[in-house]
Amino acid sequence: MQFILKYKSINEKRVLPNDNYTIKDLLDELQLSAQTIVSKQNGELVIEDTVIENGDEIQLVQIIYGG
């Protein structure tokens, strides 16, 4: 089972390690914080507890703060 990860210059297929693999698990693996990343699953905004399914496209977008 696989999903597609898109983040900055990354555009790759990744293997789902288990059936309950969540956005939070992915962020932890990539050493990213949910406070600075917006997650999309198949084009829809999702929360970090969302389970990644086979064939999903996961896009991670860095939030930029400024003033």
DSSP percent split of the chain into helix, strand, coil, nearest 5: 10, 40, 50
User: Which residues of the chain fall below pLDDT 70?
Assistant: 67
- pLDDT confidence of residue 25: 98
The bridge status of strand 57-62 relative to strand 37-41 is antiparallel
- The closest of 65, 14, 66 to 23, measured between CA atoms, is 14
- Catalogue all structural domains in the chain, each as residue range(s) with its CATH number: 2-62 (3.10.20.30)
Model pTM?
Answer: 0.92
